[in-house]
Structures are given as structure tokens and as C-alpha cells.
């Protein structure tokens, strides 16, 4: 505690500035990661529906949910293939 008492007045503002800068940097990194990994998809809500929900949904909503599901499967296959190619290049 003596060390903190020996510091002059106003040192805590610098601590807050450093912590704030780290939080902003982490937020920017997180947003960048999310945009590169297809995390900003508004249609993600349609993935919770299954075939048994067909009679509970409007036909266009059901068709949209099936299209989104097929798009997600294609994206998953593309990403898995890309990861496999990267592993093969590294080996």
C-alpha cells in the first residue's frame, strides 16, 4: 500500500485510460473476428425450426427456413473443406 500512497495525485486516470484502450482494442478484435467468421447473419433465427414445424409456419417462412438451413450446411462444408486443405498443407 505504501507504493500506491507514494504516487502523485491523478495517477488513476492513466490506469483507466489504459484499461479503456484495452477494452476498445478487444472489442474491435471481436467484431473483426465475428465478421470474418459469418457471425452477423440475420437469418440465423430460422435454424431453430425443423421439419415438424411445417404446419405451424406460413409456407414462405418455412421455405425461407429450409433455404437458410441449406445455405448453412453449404457454408459448413466449405469451411470444413478449407480447414482440411490447410491441415494438409501444414503436414
Q: How many domains does the chain have?
A: 1
Kindly report, residue by residue over 48-67, the tens digit of the pLDDT: 888 888 889 899 999 999 99
In a domain, 7, yes or no: no
pLDDT band at 10 (very low <50, low <70, confident <90, very high): confident
What global pTM score does this model have?
A: 0.58
Position 83 in a domain: yes
C-alpha cell at 86: 490447410
- pLDDT tens digits for range 12-40: 889 999 999 999 999 999 999 998 887 88
Farthest CA pair distance, the chain: 72
Indicate if the pLDDT at residue 2 is higher than 90: no
State the cell numbers at 22: 484495452
Task: Indicate whether 3 belongs to any domain.
Answer: no
What string of H, E and C letters represents the secondary structure of 30-88? HHHHHHHCCCCCHHHHHHHCCHHHHHHCCHHHHHHHHHHHHHHHHHHHHHHHHHHHHHH
Whether 26 is covered by a domain: the verdict is yes
* Residue 46 · residue 68 · CB < 8 Å: yes
Domain span holding position 34: 14-90
Amino acid at each position: 500500500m505504501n507504493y500506491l500512497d507514494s504516487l502523485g495525485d491523478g495517477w488513476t486516470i492513466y490506469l483507466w485510460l489504459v484499461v479503456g484502450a484495452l477494452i476498445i482494442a478487444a472489442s474491435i478484435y471481436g467484431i473483426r473476428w465475428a465478421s470474418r467468421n459469418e457471425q452477423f447473419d440475420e437469418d440465423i433465427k430460422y435454424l431453430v425450426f425443423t421439419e415438424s414445424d411445417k404446419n405451424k409456419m406460413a409456407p414462405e417462412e418455412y421455405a425461407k427456413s429450409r433455404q437458410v438451413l441449406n445455405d448453412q450446411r453449404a457454408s459448413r462444408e466449405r469451411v470444413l473443406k478449407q480447414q482440411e486443405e490447410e491441415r494438409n498443407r501444414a503436414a
